[in-house]
Amino acid sequence: MTLEVRSITKSFGPKEVLREVSFTARSGAALGLLGRNGAGKTTAIRIIMDVFPADTGDVLFDGKHIRQADVRIGYLPEDRGLYPKVPIGRQLSYLARLRGLTRTEATASVHHWLDRLGMQDVHDKKLETLSKGNQQKIQLALALIADPQIIILDEPFSGLDPVNAQLLKDIVNEQGEKEKIVLFSSHQMGYVETFCDEVAILNGGSIILSGAIRTIRRTYPRTRLSVRIAGDHPGTAELLGTLAEQSDLRGRILRVESDGADGCVVHLDAPESKDPLLMGLLASGASVETFLVIEPTLEEIFVEKVGDAV
């Protein structure tokens, strides 16, 4: 399955919110839709969900114009929208039936997801009695309750402790293995890196970068290395300083920084300087424990592209 957003634009009055936005999400490979507040992420999501139409452009599901009647979409919003004073099981069943499930199917799906999320004992409780994290898990149950083909998760880790965050990771990975389309929006770049194979970064209403995270990383100069030596030799920084003065390495090592442990981050003049540096380390008799290229994190790429911290 594919979800293709093709050249959509959207304005509210004189303000243009989206400008020729295009990206594609594929089943089994989660896509991270990223951007600062006000970049247009929520507007794009609402157009995908047919809350309102784009001014121009198309949203296609497997090559056909998307319609709510043709595709099941599960949505976990950033802001909670369930009823705080209605018993959880009752409202989940009601909302499942609104999504097309029979009464029997709805009951079975509610029990399945409450069990999967470790929330069996809250069926008859009111939402307002739960912690923020457990309310988020109920929202997730609602997003998945009708076996959606497209799953849209907006800041899904909000309020979750590490144990529940891992549970959410496991569930989303399971959905990906079932060849669902997963669209993931978050400011927590570490989670995006864990989940997503591809990203599309919005800034000022336009896509400024998109593609596979691995491919994007490899477009950056591979001139930053993590180096650590072991044994009874001089420390890593001391040895690197000595090597930097050798004729075949002079000018190649631009800067050496401590990594906060026993190793160093080495900045080279060019990617081609890696081999002479490694040969120099080995020729010195040092036991090289770590020697690897440091690729930029998604957060570093994001900050560079949008020009501000996350």
* β-strand partners of 24: 4
Helix (H, G, I), strand (E, B) or coil at 158: coil
pTM of the entire predicted model: 0.85
Q: Where in the sequence is the domain holding 272, given as residue range(s)?
A: 224-293
Average pLDDT, the chain: 90
CA angle 221, 222, 227 (to 5 degrees): 145
In this predicted structure, what is the pLDDT of residue 309?
A: 45
Q: Are residues 252 and 124 in the same domain?
A: no
Structural domain includes residue 97: yes
CA 275 to chain centre: 34
Task: Over range 125-153, report the average pLDDT.
Answer: 93
> Do 110 and 259 belong to one domain?
no
Query: pLDDT class for 186, splitting at 50, 70, 90?
Result: confident
What letter represents residue 170's amino acid?
Answer: D
One-letter amino acid at 290 equals T
| For residue 20, pLDDT beyond 90 | yes
β pairing state of 198-203 and 31-35: parallel
Greater pLDDT, 262 or 206: 206
Q: Specify the pLDDT at position 310.
A: 46
Q: What is the CATH number of the domain that holds 98?
A: 3.40.50.300
Q: Residue 123's Cα: distance from chain center in Å? A: 31
87 touches 108 (CB < 8 A): no
Cβ 258 vs Cβ 237: under 8 Å: yes
Strands (E), 88-171: 150-154
CATH number of the domain at 274, please.
3.30.70
CA-wise closest residue to 230 among 300, 289, 310, 277: 289
- State which of 217, 247, 270 marks the end of a domain: 217
Query: Residue 210: how many CB atoms within 10 A of its CB?
Result: 18
